[in-house]
Chain A
Amino acid sequence: ETGVTQTPRHLVMGMTNKKSLKCEQHLGHNAMYWYKQSAKKPLELMFVYNFKEQTENNSVPSRFSPECPNSSHLFLHLHTLQPEDSALYLCASSQDTPREQYFGPGTRLTVT
């Protein structure tokens, strides 16, 4: 449960706000991921970082900006979001891609 932590757990923001989501993994893994989880849709992979280098950007709008300062930390910077961006944002990590990914509890984001 505490291998991957995410803060905040809940976030409400207006469309003109700027906020950041934080993820930290304590598992010694090399790869970290951002996923978006919306109701009745599969988990959508957004970004992948391997050894701090971004290796995947799954056609994500530029209003989402990831940052990976080291292998243990991952951020998702948010600005000028739309209501349809409301979702659960999950962070995950793994030793290698794509095996045995371990997820954090997620940040429930509501854009008003």
Chain B
Amino acid sequence: GENVEQHPSTLSVQEGDSAVIKCTYSDSASNYFPWYKQELGKGPQLIIDIRSNVGEKKDQRIAVTLNKTAKHFSLHITETQPEDSAVYFCAASFYGGATNKLIFGTGTLLAVQP
């Protein structure tokens, strides 16, 4: 069935360093790939997304890249800050049955050490 794998499960970086989180998806028909950030005690918050007609998208310190051939996409955070510490989830759209839905990865706990 549909599946999204996310790595690593935990990531610790020094403040100012870059962080990269990678996801692979199984459904070649997927065409929408959002990334969510979840802070303690809060719901996931959409931080950036990419559609399959582009290979890269950037928003300030955050960028996402997509390789459709290899069916993987990555989140890049540059100049990390302590407030970037959170759990990050990737997701991919899946078209099946009556509803298009998102399939989520298992999450990456990012810790930015000051």
- Given known contacts A40-B106, A42-B4, A42-B106, A100 and B101 CB-to-CB distance under 8 angstroms: no
Chain A residues within 8 Å of B100, by CB: 97-98
CB distance from A57 to the nearest CB of B (A): 10
Contact, CB under 8 Å: B98 / A55: yes
User: A20-55 CB contact bits vs B (8 Å, 1 = yes)?
Assistant: 000000000000000000001111010010100001
Chain B residues within 8 Å of A106, by CB: 42-43
The number of chain A residues with a CB under 8 A from chain B is 23
The reply on A4 being an interface residue by CB < 8 A is yes
CB distance from A47 to the nearest CB of B (A): 10
CA distance A102 to B104 in the complex (A): 14
- Given known contacts A42-B104, A43-B89, A100 and B98 CB-to-CB distance under 8 angstroms: no
A-B contact pairs, 19 of them (CB 8 A): A4-B43, A40-B106, A41-B106, A42-B4, A42-B89, A43-B104, A48-B101, A55-B99, A56-B98, A92-B43, A97-B100, A98-B93, A98-B100, A98-B101, A99-B93, A103-B36, A103-B45, A105-B43, A106-B42
Q: Interface of B with A (CB < 8 Å)?
A: 4, 32, 34, 36, 41-46, 49, 89, 93-94, 97-107
Give 8 new A-B contacts, CB below 8 A, not counting A98-B94, A98-B100, A105-B43. A40-B106, A42-B103, A55-B98, A56-B99, A98-B102, A103-B45, A105-B41, A106-B43
